[in-house]
Amino acid sequence: MRIAYDRDACQGHNRCYQLAPELFDVDEEGYAVLLVTGEVPAELEEKAQLCADNCPEFAIEVEA
Amino acid sequence: MTDTVPETKRPPVEDWATDFDHTHPDYAANAPEIWDDLRERCPVAHTERFGGAWLPTKAADVRAIAEDTDRFTSRGIIINDFRPELDIAPRGYAPPITSDPPFHAGARRLLLPPFAPKQIEAWEPMARACCRELLDEVEAELAAGGDVVDAATAYAQDIPVRVIAAMLGLPQEDGDKFRMFIHRILETPGQHDDIDPSETLVAYLSEKIRERRESGADGDDLISYLLTVEGTDGNRLSDEHVFGTIALLLIAGIDTTWSAIGASLWHLAQHPDDRRRWVEDPDVRIFAIEEFLRFYAPVTMARLAAEDTEVGGCPVKKEDWLLLSFPSYNRDPEAFEQADEFVIDRARNRHSAFGLGIHRCLGSNLARLELTVAIEEWMARFPDFELADPGTVRWSTGQVRGPRCLPVRVLGHGAA
Ligand code: SF4
């Protein structure tokens, strides 16, 4: 599974960091920082999907 | 401050589609039903009140307005009978919430760091201690007799007041004053021409800012920070900017979070299964909190049309008001499965309780922390409770929605 994150769309709702700190950190202004480079480790796939489904700004996309 | 049943000078509403009034007590009592009805038959309601305003109820229309800062200005965010003057744009009265681009980004950037998730985590012990202290008081009251307590006034409202007072460096004892200012500004806008000028938010904050300046503004609170920080242009902020931002921080977090905590307790009081689930399954809490926020989103923002335009096919005139009903967005079946049901473990929850776009609630991390801690602490102390008398629950009017009077009967405590 691949994950992509659009920094321009992100408004810092912080849902992703809250749901999956293994995949997302936040910078000092509260915007998300994607911690993996595209490919999601198998054990985190469910969490990646959760992040994508909960971002109010549609800033996260996953692709099976 | 004890809230009494709101008096209204407003005429009753016959049809919400053509004459809505969100400051009317009838709206407060039935808002979710009104949104559902409007979404079905007239998704963009209109009113001639307030000099002309629109209420889109579908998620897609709300999102389109929130994302379009060219067609819609934030110069006015609380609907009133008067429009804020044109020349206060792009800063507005309370930057950054009342600011438009490009001014907005700089004003917001100054405030993002103190409200970022990791900075806000540091306030958790204080918030938790505050909840426990309030619960001790509630318990003492229950022990003194009776088993009923007003969860809105004896618990929910004091949590955000105390935390924001501490962040700003204002005295905790001034909480009643904050609530009075907020009540006038948010709940009954435009209905107060008879107030002594020395009793206003303007007078109060001007005095506090003057004191802070005179003492050197070297504290580690937010007022000192705003008085000393340099804006993106390298200069200190203007007096109007500092004043507006402090007013915003003081006002924006109190009724909103009070409402979210109160509505969540109102829900739990009526749903023993959800109470049990909360207690027995700690993993569900992270989802439950977001579902409280979705289902009982307290905040509706407003915009002014910057030009003649249209929303959902309706002709909007320049300077018309638009209500951005995030609460209605959150109950739109086109955006959520089982939109009209509270699902405590809802895993897909793209709710907009904190708004959308560049004005995303700056305090959302703090609000989420306060809501989580408040519910955790209440449920740890009083896992079983019910509404004492559903007829006495009163919901606020205006653009912030939550129970202002919430008598609950604590089960298994008190008069034993
Ligand atoms: S949930 Fe979306 S908007 Fe929020 S921080 Fe993550 S990517 Fe950004």
pLDDT digits (tens, 9 = 90+) for A34-62: 999 989 999 999 999 999 999 999 999 99
- Answer whether residue B6 shows pLDDT above 90: no
Write the residue in A19, A26, A50 that is nearest to B116 by C-beta. Answer: A26
> Which one, of B312, B310, B355, B361, lies nearest residue B330 by Cα?
B355
Q: What is the pLDDT of residue B2?
A: 40
What the block records as the tokens of B309 is 């335009």
Count of CB atoms situated within 10 Å of the CB of B10: 16
Chosen from B109, B118, B121, B124 to mutate, greatest number of chain A CBs within 10 A:
B118
Cα B10 to ligand 1 centroid, rounded to whole Å = 41
Write the residue in A27, A53, A58 that is nearest to B348 by C-beta. Answer: A53
Q: What is the pLDDT of residue B327?
A: 98
Alpha carbons within 13 angstroms on the beta-carbon side of residue B349 total 24
More confident residue, B415 or B116: B116
- Answer whether residue B1 shows pLDDT above 70: no
pLDDT tens by residue, B207-255: 999 999 898 878 889 999 999 999 888 999 998 999 999 999 988 889 9
Q: What is the pLDDT of residue B218?
A: 83
**Alpha carbons B237 and B406: distance in angstroms, whole number:** 41
pTM equals 0.94
Q: Residues with Cβ < 8 Å from B160, sequence gap 6 or more?
A: B253, B254, B256, B257, B258, B367, B370
Say if the Cβ atoms of A11 and B116 lie within 8 Å. Answer: no
Residue of B nearest to A9 (CA): B357
Q: Residues with Cβ < 8 Å from B247, sequence gap 6 or more?
A: B93, B94, B201, B205
- Answer whether residue B414 shows pLDDT above 70: no
Residue of B nearest to A28 (CA): B113
Residue of A nearest to B120 (CA): A30
- Answer whether residue B7 shows pLDDT above 70: no
Confidence of residue B204 (pLDDT cuts 50, 70, 90): very high
**Alpha carbons B264 and B266: distance in angstroms, whole number:** 5
Cα B305 to ligand 1 centroid, rounded to whole Å = 28
Say if the Cβ atoms of B348 and A29 lie within 8 Å. Answer: no
- Answer whether residue B270 shows pLDDT above 50: yes
Confidence of residue B3 (pLDDT cuts 50, 70, 90): very low
Phi, psi of A61 (to 5 degrees): -130, 140
- Answer whether residue B416 shows pLDDT above 50: no
- Answer whether residue B332 shows pLDDT above 90: yes
Do the interacting molecules here have an ipTM over 0.95? yes
- Provide the H-helix boundaries in B271-342: 272-280, 285-295, 326-329
Chosen from B119, B336, B345, B364 to mutate, greatest number of chain A CBs within 10 A:
B364
